[in-house]
Amino acid sequence: MPTPINIQEFLELSEKHPVLDVRSPGEFEAGHIPGAVSLPLFTNEERAIVGTAYKQVSRESAVNKGLGFFAPKMKELADAAKKISGGNTFLVHCWRGGLRSASVAWLLELYGCKVYVLRGGYKSFRRRALESFGEDRNILILGGRTGSGKTLILKELLDLEEQVIDLEQLAHHKGSSFGALGEKPQPTQEMFENTLFIELYKKDKTKTLWLEDESNMIGAKVIPKLFFEKMRSSPVFFLNIPFEVRLDYITEVYGKFNASDLKDAVSRITKKLGGIGTKTALEAIDAGDLKTAFEICLRYYDKTYDYGKNNRNQEKLTACDFEKLNVKEIAEEIIKKINTGKIK
C-alpha cells in the first residue's frame, strides 16, 4: 500500500526521491513544487469533463469518466514514471491527496515501486509555504542606491559562506524599469512564492540570512506580505557609493542591450522623469550617448530610493562609504563589521 506522509516528511524525502505531480498540465503551469515532474493523470480537457460530471451529475459519474480516461494510458504513465528516475521510489501528489494521486500510486506499486503520497496534496504544500513567510528569522538587508552592485555583493557573500537568497533571481527581474532586460519571463506569483519557500526551507534559521533591499514588488511579482514585513523590520547595511561609480556600472550592465529595448524602459517611467527628462534621455539613446540617458534615469531612482531610506528606522541602518565598487573588498568589510558587532 502507498504510504501517506505529511508535508514535513514529504519535503525531507523530496531531497532524495523524485516528486510526481499528477495534476493537469494547467494546474502544474500555474504553480508547482520546485523540482517536481509533471505526470498528469488527466489532460486539461479531461479534468474539466470529470469536474463537470462531479458537480452536475454525481461522484460516481465523475469516477466512471475518470476511469475511462485512466485505463487506456496506464502503461504509458508507468513507463513515463520509470524513465524519470533509475530508482524505484517516488513521491506522488495531486491537489488534495485524493483519487488522482491514489490511482497513480496504486499503478506504480503494481510495477513494484515504493510510493509515498502527500497527505492533503499540493494544497498542504501551499499552506506550509504561506505559513513559512511569517516565521522568525535573523535577516540582514543589503541596501544601497541603484548601481551599487548589490547583487554582485550578495554573490560574494555567498562565496564567503554567508546565507543568501537573491529575490531578483527568483523573480527573473532586477527591479527597475530596465529590470526585465536579459531575463527570462517572470514566473507566476504562485511559483515565485513556492520557490521562495523552498529556498527558505533550505536555510538554517539560527544563522543570518542576507537579502537585497527591495520594494514590495519585483517587476510584477509581489513579495509575500508577512515576509516583506520581516524584511522591513530587519537591520540594513547601506552601501554609500559615489554617483559616478554607480553610473559607470549601470552603463556597463545595461548598455549592452539594444536601443529599442532601452527606449521602451525609459518610456515606462515617463511620468517620473517628466517630459523634458524623457525626451532628453530618448534622444541621448538615439545618439549613442548612453551615459547621459542613464544619468537622467539614475537621478530619478536615487530620489526614489532616498525617500524610502529616510522613512526607515534609522536606528537599524548601518551606512558604510566605499569609493570604488570592489565587490570582494565590500563583502569582506561587511563580514568584518558583523564580527565586530558594528552592524546594528
Catalytically active residues are 94
Instruction: Give Cα 190 to chain centroid, integer Å.
Output: 9
289: left (phi over 0), alpha (psi -120 to 50) or beta: beta
**Residue 105, C-beta contacts closer than 8 angstroms, at least 6 positions apart:** 2, 92, 115, 117
Give CA–CA dist 85/80, Å, rounded. Answer: 10
And the C-alpha cell for 148?
551599487
Classify strands 221-222 and 217-218 as parallel, antiparallel or unpaired. antiparallel
Give CA–CA dist 140/174, Å, rounded. Answer: 19
Classify strands 3-5 and 114-118 as parallel, antiparallel or unpaired. parallel
And the C-alpha cell for 315?
536606528
Other beta carbons less than 10 A from residue 322's beta carbon: 18
The number of residues in the chain equals 344
| 114 neighbors 140 (Cβ within 8 angstroms) | no
And the C-alpha cell for 213?
533591499
